[in-house]
Structure 1
Amino acid sequence: MTANPSKMPRPRDTVARWIALTTMVSMLTLLALNELFSLVAGAWARPPLMETGLMDKAAAITRIIDAADPGQRHAIARIASDPGINVQWLQRYEEAHLPVIGDPEFSEGSAFLHQQLNRPDARIEAYEPNDWPAADDPDRRYAVIIELSDHTWVIFSVGSRSWGLGEWQRNLIIIALILLSTFIVALIATRHLATPLERFAEGARRFGVDFRAPPIPVVGPFEIRQAILAFNAMQAQLKHFVQDRTQMLAAISHDLRAPLTRMRLRGEFIEDAEQQSRLFRDVDEMQAMVNAALEFFRDEARLEHATAFDLAELLHTIVDDFRDGGIEVSFEGVQRLVYVGRPIGIKRALTNLIDNAVKYASEPGVQLKTFIDRIEIRIQDRGPGIAPEYHEQVFAPFFRIEGSRNKNTGGVGLGLSAARATVLEHGGTLTLRNRRGGGLEVRVSLPLN
């Protein structure tokens, strides 16, 4: 019984839903931060009138102005004003241009001023910035207006602090809140999405270096899980394909030994010595090719696990081995370099490349160079080099530039193929180029994980 795809529940944990959720939560967080800032900053910017310090000054200045001659009251008010408080003496109430509100009285402040002025019948009104009708009114301020004994008025004003900042500074704070809330929410959400992607990329890189790397854990949103499942399936198919191909080719190479042995036995009955010698040379060359192929396939089937090792020390060991055999190979590079890979395979590939430089040229040398993202090993020599049109063909299995190269003069043409296969398995590249003044440079580039 198969399930109907149209009735199957849709996955909840998807990238699209995470993006929508991130956007919504960012907006809600912004609103919450903005409201919190307005409450906190508003309490500081517009405190209750009794906390502004206006009442004490108003009581003292009012007593002085009320006792002074009317002709001197303007001058006294002007002298009493300072950057923090503005004092004006008015002959009529209308000159104050105060907003119309239901009840401008305030019990606590009025009682305090009546007590300080010793005039319980004095009319006193108080206004706060919120009492002005327009939010952007530049006249929004704290104000206290007090009636004097001769029915004139004195008004005291203190400007609203507006958080103590200008308009562009307040807008800058709001923008900062927007960016902060968006960054916090986006950081949390992207960590949920980025962690599975990082594991996916790490697993893909590991598979490029280690053929036997385990499958990638299936975690993350639905789309990422589907991609990981597809990659794991592809990885399993590639492993199966390579193993089948290797086993098949190894079996073919192994089965070729029997007819070659029979050919050699039958060649013993050939009376013509020259023809017999030619046949034996061909059989020996074919036997060498079969043996080399078997060794190549066994090496590929016997892939070792990646491990950390000292690549510089490995190169020193190879160079010392050649020197012990009476062959001088120069070395230039760092004395220590830790690299993660398969040391046996790399050692075999580099030994093969240096051996080619020894056999077919002179003045072999090795350079080890490090870069930010890669390592380069350069095997150089002085010799005839290789024609540019053969720079890629020489990596084909059993390809030999010189027809005379046989088991006695230079192998069967699998050395460079095996070396490049090893380098590619590590995610690197192996290229050739001719040197100025004669010679060849083999450049092995390995990525740093």
Structure 2
Amino acid sequence: MTSLRTRIAILLILAIVSVVGLATFAASRALRPPLPQATMEPLARQLHVLARLAQADRQAALAAGLVLQAAPATGREEMGMTRFLNRALERTGTARKAVITRSPDTPVLTASVDLGNGEWLVSDVPDMRPPPGGWKIMAGWIALIVAGSTAVSLFAASKITRPLELLEGAASRVDSDGLLAHIPEEGAGEIRATARALNQLSGRLKSAMESRMRLVAAAGHDLRTPMTRMRLRAEFIADEEEREKWLADLEELDAIADSAISLVREEVGEHGSEPLKLGYLVRGLAEELRDLGYNVSDPPLASLPVAARPIALKRAIRNLIINAATHGGGARIELQARDGLAVVTILDEGPGIPQDLIGQVFEPFFRVDMARRKTLPGAGLGLVIAKEIIERFGGTIAIANREPRGLIQTITLPLANVG
């Protein structure tokens, strides 16, 4: 009921049924039978003529086909029509007693007029009412209208919403780089125009992203030369404390440049993959980081076959583990397979992230507290790089606060067959 196609179809059905309903009402009013008052006076005049003929020359009346009998015609009396006929007879001539009856065997109406000599003139009366079963005919007519208008409306709504379905389908096929898959430019003119516009938009987006990546890579690369010169000059600063501050700032700039270049390499690098065992990869990473002094738990040994590039995936998971070990006082890693997915969970006991900022954690250079930049290492691109890598291989990454404290980082990747 909430879809645009359904709303358009319902609107069209209501419009068609309303128009046909009004037309049917107008036709029924225009084609309805005349009122009894309008038909009884001509009938009364005709009966007066026939009655006078029967009274003047009975044999001639019988020869002419008139029916004369000693009693009124049998059947159920139509009280309303009888009353109208008697009034019409009174207005058009001598008042006469008349009765209109309907035979139980046939739907024919019969008028019986008292001739005053013990005989009754019996004559058929035309029935102006609709044929029997009229309601059934009307119901069938309405049902046919509704069925036909429904089919026409659904077809029209489908045609009207086709470009919107094209937009929805294109949006659902956006890849991890934010680009649209190519859409065939075929079909109706509006659909071709929509597909052409989307393809042009995708081309412009790709060009803009490539230009941005080239700019970031060039900036990161060009920073290396002045930073090297500044590092050489800093070595000649006599004040040891001041020299250490300069060198620390240069180290941070160097880390930012390295992270920016790494991000560019991940976004424009090869997107192929190969089978690997995620459990062994994570276990190896944990041992490597413990050797470097990070507080990382030993994850359970699990195979968890996935398809990815080992170097890229190790970089992504390493960034997340280091993030937990650095900001959360230690990283505890859990591995499991669930609903066709390999799930890596990284938990810590740190201060967490304010709930109103949790949605910004994957933005470049994001910091919960900018004052901590000087005390904690990192350029603020680790999560961005990790998200780019994991989504490239069809996975997802989510970060949420734990109760009572800490963060939980969850990585999911589709399970694959590893030979």
In structure 2, the partner of 1:260 is 227
- Say which SS state the counterpart of residue 228 (structure 2) adopts: helix
- 1:257 is displaced (CA, Å) by 0.7
Distance apart, 1:184 and its partner CA: 3.6
Give the superposition deviation at 1:251: 0.6
Could you tell me which residue of structure 2 aligns to residue 59 of structure 1? none
Q: How many residues align?
A: 296
Deviation at 1:174, TM superposition (A): 3.7
Listed as ranges, the gaps of 5+ residues in structure 1 are 1-14, 31-90, 98-136, 144-164
Relative to structure 1, is the Cα distance of residues 337 and 398 closer, same or farther in structure 2, using a 3 angstrom cutoff? closer
Distance 1:240 1:168 in 2: 68
The DSSP-based 3-state class of the residue aligned with 1:413 is coil
- 1:286 partnered with 2:253: yes
Residues 364 and 379 in structure 1, CA contact (< 8 A), matched pair in contact too: yes
- The CA deviation at 1:345 is 7.1
In structure 2, the CA distance between the partners of 1:275 and 1:323, relative to structure 1 (3 Å rule), is closer
Letter of the 1:229 partner, please give it.
R
Q: Which amino acid aligns with 1:288?
A: A
Amino acid at match of 2:173: R
Query: Aligned pair 1:364/2:336, yes or no?
Result: no
Deviation string 1:204-247 (CA, Å, 9 cap, x unpaired) is 22125454544322344444444333333332222222221221
Distance 2:70 2:315 in 1: 106
Pairwise CA distance, 1:265: 2.9
Residue 436 of structure 1 deviates from its aligned partner by: 1.8
Cα offsets for 1:182-212 (capped at 9, x unmatched): 3444444455455554343222221254545
Describe how 1:412-423 pairs up with structure 2 within 5 A.
Answer: 412-419=379-386
Write the distance in 2 (CA, Å) between the matches of 1:314 and 1:140. Answer: 91
Change (3 A) 1:425 1:138: farther
Corresponding position of 2:297? 328
Question: Which is worse superposed, 243-252 or 418-427?
Answer: 418-427
Contact 2:163 2:190 in 1 (8 A): no
Mapped partners of 1:223, 1:393: distance in 2: 38
1:179 to 121, 146, 149: 146
| Structure 2 residue corresponding to 1:403, chosen from 367, 370, 373 | 373
Alignment CA distance shift 1:343-1:221 (3 Å):
farther
Unaligned ranges ≥5, structure 2: 21-68, 76-101, 109-131, 291-295, 414-419
Q: Deviation string for 1:288-334 (max 9, x for gaps)? A: 221111111222233738x9x99xx9764654444554643668xxx
Matched residue SS, 2:373:
coil
Contact 2:74–2:103 (8 Å) recurs in 1? no
Query: After superposition, what is the alpha-carbon deviation per residue over 1:42-71, rounded to whole angstroms, capped at 9, x for unaligned?
Result: xxxxxxxxxxxxxxxxxxxxxxxxxxxxxx
Aligned equivalent of 1:161 = none
Write the distance in 2 (CA, Å) between the matches of 1:383 and 1:224.
53
What is the TM-score of this pair, normalised by structure 2? 0.51
Q: Which residue of the other structure, out of 385, 399, 408, is the alignment partner of 2:352?
A: 385
Give yes or no for contact 2:286–2:299 (8 Å, CA) kept in 1: no
1:251-272 superposed Cα distances (whole Å, 9 cap, x missing partner):
1111111111222333444455
What residue is the counterpart of 2:212 in the other structure? 245
> Normalized against structure 1, the TM-score is what?
0.48
Contact residue 162 and residue 191 of structure 2 kept, 8 A: no
In structure 2, distance between residues paired with 1:369 and 1:92: 103
Map 1:165-314 to 2 at 5 A.
171-193=138-160, 196-207=163-174, 209-302=176-269, 304=271
The answer to whether the 8 Å contact 1:216/1:228 transfers is yes
Indicate conservation of the 8 Å contact 1:193/1:221, yes or no.
no
Distance 2:105 2:141 in 1: 22
2:194 aligned partner, one-letter code = A
C-alpha distance in 2 between matches for 1:440 and 1:211: 28
Q: Is the 8 A contact 1:383 1:438 kept in 2?
A: yes
1:115-145 Cα distance to aligned partner (Å, 9 max, x none): xxxxxxxxxxxxxxxxxxxxxx9979599xx
